[in-house]
Chains A and B, each alone.
Chain A
Amino acid sequence: MTPSTALPERRSRSPQERLIDRLFVRTTLVLAVLTGVLLAFIILVIAWRSLPAVQAFGLNFITGSAWNPVPGREEFGVFPMLYGTLVSSIIALLIAVPLGLGTAIFLSEDFIPSQPRLVISFLVELLAAIPSVVYGLWGIFVLIPLIQPVARWLHANLGWIPLFGTEPVGPGMLPASLVLAIMILPIMTAIAKDSLAALPPELRQASMGLGATRWWTIFRVLIPAAISGIVGGTMLGLGRALGETMAATMLIGNANQFQWSLLAPANTIASLLANQFPEARGIQVSALMYAAVLLMLMTLIVNILAEVIVNRLKAKYE
């Protein structure tokens, strides 16, 4: 680069200026590295605080079902909460995946003009902007009373199935899963829609040009071609559902015991943490940290998988 002649006094820099410049670049590097390793630091802090519980309970912590913080007789096992975390997330996915995929197809095809389509996409994104604690409040006062008759009907008529084997009491796995589904719908819809929209238009033309109908084209060409984005979005949704705290803790009933019934109160790891940390003492703190490590591991694995899958999709069509 040729030095400018317009401002000759700037042509050579003073030693102080060089130093400041060096320091500035170094500072950004240090901050970037700190930001990059923050995740590792978080894991480290939580793992470090969980050590006493890891030593005391080992792997029995994962398989055990007792949660007894009474001093002197402490016993901790998170099996019911692990089960509740996984089952509530899976039910949420079972509801949200078809709904989200259907909405994504609706919004990426020209069933309706593009203006209303944009409005609907925007509304779906607004769903993600509502704080989870507000969903929890709404769940308690609106959703639970609303689904109570349905839950009673399920118990009365299908009560022989263990999943509906208990009298519905209000809070439980079912309402929590429903709200989780609502909360993960936006991200799943957005990613599925984006990956469908990113497909080259030639694919659709080729299929229609061969005399395929629109729906044949969607099922046989478009969805298979966009599958990594759809799966990636589903994984991100799963990651959200596993770690979502407020909707779960306000709606699931916080019962630390294992029950097959979806109508019975249950618990998730996230809501266990939210409930017990404020008043936890001694080894109980450590046990909760141990539970947090498990939750962290689950969400990390799911999120890293999602990241890899979505990146692979990007690479394919660039």
Chain B
Amino acid sequence: MVNGASPQGQPVFRVENVNIYYGNFKAVRDVSMTIPKNQVTAFIGPSGCGKSTILRCLNRLNDLIASFRLEGKITYHDKNIYDPDIDPVEVRRKIGMVFQKPNPFPKSIYDNVVYGARVINYKGDLDELVERSLRRAALWDEVKDKLKQSGFSLSGGQQQRLCIARTIAVEPEVVLMDEPCSALDPISTLKVEELMHELKANYTIVIVTHNMQQATRVADMTAFFNAEATPKGGKVGHLVEFDLTKNIFGSPKQQATMDYVSGRFG
């Protein structure tokens, strides 16, 4: 724990002294934090502060970028997921991801939901899985009559909930959300936020958001990241403060956090 009170519940992730590089460029320096189980943890901060980068490290999605390199440890249930004996494909099956832009596959709604189940060679009843997942994502009533239609036929908000249904269909333990509402209208945003409240009973949720109100509405814990200029003219992100959401927004310990949450930020 870097700052503030200890989180309730047992930890899922421990991030320990993590530095992240893209080639020679250092993107994030020295981040340490503990992410608790069955809670919503929000990452906030200005653009370029590395919050999305950290998020993508939690399920090794950054491995898709050839120049990516990580120093330090990220443990998941006390096992470093960057150990050489870890299979990143299995990591991603346990730790799902919802992206900024809704990204359904160019397939039917049904095939979108069962995609992950087919990946893990799921033996159960697919129809039931589709209904269960879509119900949990609060989308079932809107699409139950058109499961064979393309995922693209839905509105932006529905597409994003479809992507959430697709992610939770494989029963991950953690759902990572990278600004899941930034492309949505206010009503869809509200629906997705309600969904997060319901999902945290079964899942651990980590969400990156640009919207501070959203963090106060959905998150139990909030981490504030900031970017600082490097002598070489680049920007490197770092963790400023991590605490209960009410502390971050009510009584932050750092001046930078205070400036940011009160909107006095450049």
Partners in one complex: yes
Q: Could you tell me the distance between the alpha carbons of A212 and B116 in the complex, rounded to whole angstroms?
A: 7
Tell me whether B66 and A110 are in contact (CB under 8 A): yes
Q: Could you tell me the distance between the alpha carbons of A200 and B120 in the complex, rounded to whole angstroms?
A: 24
B4 within 8 A of A: no
Tell me whether A210 and B167 are in contact (CB under 8 A): yes
Tell me whether A224 and B61 are in contact (CB under 8 A): no
Q: Which residues of A contact B229 (CB under 8 A)?
A: none
Tell me whether B116 and A211 are in contact (CB under 8 A): yes
Q: Which residues of A contact B90 (CB under 8 A)?
A: 211
Tell me whether A209 and B61 are in contact (CB under 8 A): yes
With beta carbons under 8 angstroms apart, the residue of A110, A204, A212 that contacts B119 is A212
With beta carbons under 8 angstroms apart, the residue of A110, A113, A211, A224 that contacts B170 is A211
Tell me whether B106 and A224 are in contact (CB under 8 A): yes
Given A210-B92, A211-B116, A205–B170 Cβ distance below 8 Å?
A: no
Q: Which residues of B contact A225 (CB under 8 A)?
A: 105-106
Tell me whether B92 and A209 are in contact (CB under 8 A): yes
A-B residue pair count with CB separations less than 8 angstroms:
66
Q: Which residues of A contact B120 (CB under 8 A)?
A: 211
Given A110-B66, A204-B64, A210–B93 Cβ distance below 8 Å?
A: yes
Tell me whether A203 and B105 are in contact (CB under 8 A): yes
Tell me whether A211 and B163 are in contact (CB under 8 A): no
Given A202-B99, A204-B64, A205-B61, A210–B106 Cβ distance below 8 Å?
A: no
Q: Could you tell me the distance between the alpha carbons of A35 and B167 in the complex, rounded to whole angstroms?
A: 54
Q: Could you tell me the distance between the alpha carbons of A220 and B121 in the complex, rounded to whole angstroms?
A: 14
B218 within 8 A of A: no
Most B CB contacts (10 A, CB to CB) among A113, A203, A209, A213 go to A209
B206 within 8 A of A: no
A30 within 8 A of B: no
Given A203-B103, A221-B105, A225-B106, A208–B92 Cβ distance below 8 Å?
A: yes
CB distance from A114 to the nearest CB of B (A): 8
Q: Which residues of B contact A210 (CB under 8 A)?
A: 92-93, 96-97, 115-116, 119, 166-167, 170
Q: Number of B residues contacting the other chain (C-beta, 8 Å)?
A: 27
Q: Could you tell me the distance between the alpha carbons of A224 and B150 in the complex, rounded to whole angstroms?
A: 13
B235 within 8 A of A: no
Tell me whether A208 and B61 are in contact (CB under 8 A): yes
Q: Which residues of B contact A212 (CB under 8 A)?
A: 89, 115-116, 119
Q: Which residues of chain B from 169 to 194 have any CB-CB distance to chain A below 8 Å in the complex? A: 170
Q: Which residues of A contact B163 (CB under 8 A)?
A: 206
A41 within 8 A of B: no
Q: Which residues of A contact B96 (CB under 8 A)?
A: 209-210
Q: Which residues of chain B from 117 to 158 have any CB-CB distance to chain A below 8 Å in the complex? A: 118-120
Pairs A-B, 10 closest by C-beta atoms = A211-B93, A202-B103, A209-B97, A210-B116, A211-B92, A206-B103, A212-B119, A225-B106, A110-B66, A221-B105
Known: A208-B64, A210-B119. 14 other contacts (CB 8 A): A200-B103, A203-B106, A205-B103, A206-B163, A207-B105, A208-B61, A209-B92, A209-B167, A210-B116, A210-B166, A210-B167, A211-B89, A211-B120, A212-B89
Q: 12 A–B contact pairs at CB < 8 A?
A: A205-B61, A206-B97, A206-B105, A206-B166, A208-B92, A209-B61, A209-B99, A210-B166, A210-B170, A212-B89, A213-B89, A216-B119
